Amino acid sequence: MPDTNNDFELVRSFVSGNESSFNKIALKYQEKIYWHARKMAGNHLDADEILQEVLLVLYGKLKNFRFKSSLYTWIYRITATRSINFIKRKKVRQFFSLEDKETGSLTGGNDIIKNLEDKEKLKRLESVLQEIPVKQREVFIMRNFEELSYEEIAEITGRSIGGLKSNYFHAVKKIYELMKDE
């Protein structure tokens, strides 16, 4: 978990008018936001849009942040919510044919991963994750990649621990079935 005391100082400084403190907060957390969004959305363009959206929300709401949870948890909560909302919005747009279904998976020239081998690995991971339902995917990412406890995930998502365990269990089962023959 990131340094909470430093976060407190940064937020206080930003609230008292120091704009550069927000830059520091953004620099500190943007990668975490991006990679969560990337695994949730499955491509760079959408992850980038989610990242910008989360930063905008942070900029607007940071003045009301009261440290009832850690800044990290709060940012993660915003990221998780925004990612799921973005995916839902995208599905609706695709359903009404407002957006080409292929657009989202165009990563080639727009991707930030230049190494071809890494790009292929991540592409495979993204395609596997896209096969599981959104809420199961969310819990799997938090639990497996972020190594968060169920208590931490419950605080971020606002869901019950029992439900989260069930989501994770079914996500692992599905992923195993998808990858066992590779």
Partner 1 sequence: MNNKDKIILYMDNQLSPEEKQKFEEDLQNSPELQHELENYKEVFQKINLMNVHSADESYFVNNVPAFREKLEKKRKIYLYKRLIYASSAAVIIIFVLSLFLFKNVETVPGEGESLTSLSDEQINNLAENYNVLEADTSLSAIADSVWDELIVDEFNFSYENADSILHSFNGSISYADYLNEEEASLVYDRLINKEFF
The residue (of 34 and 72) whose beta carbon lies closer to partner 1 is 34
Question: Cα separation of 131 and 126, whole Å?
Answer: 9
Q: Which of 17, 97, 115, 116 binds partner 1 (CB under 8 A)?
A: 115
Buried b (16+ CB within 10 A) or exposed e, 26-57: bebbbeebbbbbbbbbbbbebbbebbebbbee
Smallest gap from Cβ 154 to partner 1, in A, equals 15
Question: Cα separation of 54 and 8, whole Å?
Answer: 19
**CB-based contact 164:153 (threshold 8 Å):** yes
78: contact with partner 1 by CB under 8 A = no
Q: Which of 145, 151, 158, 160 binds partner 1 (CB under 8 A)?
A: 145
Smallest gap from Cβ 11 to partner 1, in A, equals 17
**CB-based contact 15:63 (threshold 8 Å):** yes
90, 3, 10: which is closest to 58 by C-alpha?
A: 10
Within residues 35-54, the interface with partner 1 by CB under 8 A covers: 35, 39, 51-52
130: contact with partner 1 by CB under 8 A = no
175: contact with partner 1 by CB under 8 A = yes
182, 173, 78: which is closest to 131 by C-alpha?
A: 173
Smallest gap from Cβ 39 to partner 1, in A, equals 8
114: contact with partner 1 by CB under 8 A = yes
Helix (H) or strand (E) holding 166: helix 161-179
Q: Which of 1, 4, 9, 56 binds partner 1 (CB under 8 A)?
A: 56
Residues forming contacts to partner 1 in the complex (CB under 8 A) are 23, 26-27, 30-31, 34-35, 39, 51-52, 55-56, 59, 112-115, 118, 121-122, 124-125, 128, 143-145, 165, 168-169, 172-173, 175-176, 179-180, 182
